Amino acid sequence: MELKDYIRIIRKRWRIIIAAMLVVLAGAALATALSPKVYEAKTQLFVSTSGGNDTSALLQGSNFTQQRVKSYADVITTPKVLDPVIATLKLNTTADKLATHITATVPLDTVLIEVAVTDGSPRLAAEVADAVGKQFTSTVAELEAVSTTAASPVKISIVSTPTVPTAPISPTPTRNLALGVVLGLLLGLGLALLRDLLDTSIKGEKDCADVTDATVIGSIGFDPDAPKHPLIVQADPHSPRAEAFRTLRTNLQFIDAANHPRSIVFTSSLPAEGKTTTAANLAITMAASGARVCVVEADLRRPRLLEYMGLDGSVGLTNVLIGQADLGDALQQFAHTGLHVLGAGPVPPNPSELLGSTAMEKMVRELETRYDVVITDAPPLLPGTAAAVHRTTAGGT
């Protein structure tokens, strides 16, 4: 896919993208609102050793301290330090559980230990951090003591005492909402691409060109108001949709100029796709240009043509095919124009047999001798075989 294809999908499926973004954003906002607040208190410890005054002794002491400080960071979260803290603060927990709330890190090439304590209570987080720092100084002195009489060569100093945090470190609404917007847009774009890939419907000339090599001779825009105004060329002759029918009329004149079809069948895949309104408007447009036109209502299951054109439907096609009426008597003129209409007549139980009969073929041939163009409004293709059977009797479909 090219960039223009993505832009087309975004413009076409923007509602899906916005909807997905809003859903994810709402989920992020809800998760942020329901998440418990977590506060963090920090303390900083400095590790030093006693040594001589000469440069060599100081260097050895520094190297010793840097090696030792890495081990001290691990000692902070052991029961040796945390059990006394729990006892001092009278906490209802264990050393293992408390250790999950404590993080000890050593900045690179330093003798500092940074201790961070997280908890839902800001005051408790500060109290635990303070107690851990004080207890750790005593624990290290005990661990590093060579004997009961000799002092420890390592000294732990608290260089930064913890304070009660005023703002939680989690959740962070700004970050969560920003991630919700980004993830929602990505999800929406993915759904839009998937929806476009799964959409096999024909919505324009480009879709037709993608699935067939047949030439598009006309494109009638979708109009949601069409059921209220089916005969658009009369209701609003200057509308874009009415102009589209006139363009279709012109293009039909150039099809197979050497053997121009006198009869044309209009059908569709399913009902309510606009074949009847297309046949009626095209017939009116052709008649307005001076042609003698006859439109036949051959949709014997759901006839709508006479209803749209305001004509009587007591006698029609079925009466002519079974010999109950003459063709001339069944034809009706529309609005003092060169357009005549042959209605469906009574609905028969066997429409496919009637439309594929010899009588139907003879009637179409007779109409072709009387009129310049014969337009047939046939039934939809998928629900039955009537349209497929009748198309063989016409010059074009």
What is the Cα–Cα distance from 236 to 356, expressed in whole angstroms? 37
Residue 153: pLDDT over 80: no
Q: Look at 350 and 75; give whichever has higher pLDDT.
A: 75
**Parallel/antiparallel/unpaired status of strands 373-377 and 112-119:** unpaired
Residue type, 359: A
Q: Look at 397 and 370; give whichever has higher pLDDT.
A: 370
> Count of H helices and E strands in the chain?
17, 9
Residue 391: pLDDT over 70: no
- pLDDT at position 45: 92
Residue 110: pLDDT over 70: yes
- pLDDT at position 189: 94
Quick: pLDDT tens for 157-203.
899 999 999 999 999 999 999 999 999 999 999 999 999 888 877 77
Residue type, 24: V
Burial class (CB in 10 A: 0-12, 13-18, 19+), 184: buried
Mean pLDDT of 300-311: 89
The DSSP 8-state label assigned to residue 216 in this structure reads: P
Q: Structure tokens of 68?
A: 């030792």
**297 — pLDDT class (breaks 50, 70, 90):** very high
How is the chain split among helix, strand and coil, in percent rounded to 5? Answer: 50, 15, 35
Residue 306: pLDDT over 50: yes
pTM of the predicted structure, to 2 decimals: 0.57
Sheet holding 112-119, edge to edge: 102-105, 112-119, 39-49, 154-160
Tell me the average pLDDT of the chain.
85
Residue type, 284: I
CA 59 to chain centroid: 65
- pLDDT at position 222: 78
- pLDDT at position 36: 92
- pLDDT at position 383: 65
Q: Structure tokens of 370?
A: 């009387």
- pLDDT at position 55: 45
Mean pLDDT of 117-132: 95
Residue 99: pLDDT over 90: yes
Mean pLDDT of 285-310: 90
**363 — pLDDT class (breaks 50, 70, 90):** very high
- pLDDT at position 123: 95
| CA 16 to each of CA 5, 8, 20: distance values in angstroms, whole numbers, following the listed order | 16, 14, 6
Q: Phi/psi at 257 (nearest 5 deg)?
A: -60, -30
Residue 63: pLDDT over 70: no
**58 — pLDDT class (breaks 50, 70, 90):** very low
Query: C-alpha angle 197/199/204, rounded to 5°?
Result: 110
Q: Residue 118's beta-bridge partner residues?
A: 40
**397 — pLDDT class (breaks 50, 70, 90):** very low
User: Minimum mean pLDDT among 70-84, 134-148, 164-178: which range?
Assistant: 134-148
What is the three-class DSSP state of 177? helix
- Decide if 321 contacts 352 (C-beta within 8 A): no
Residue 106: pLDDT over 80: yes
Residue 40: pLDDT over 50: yes
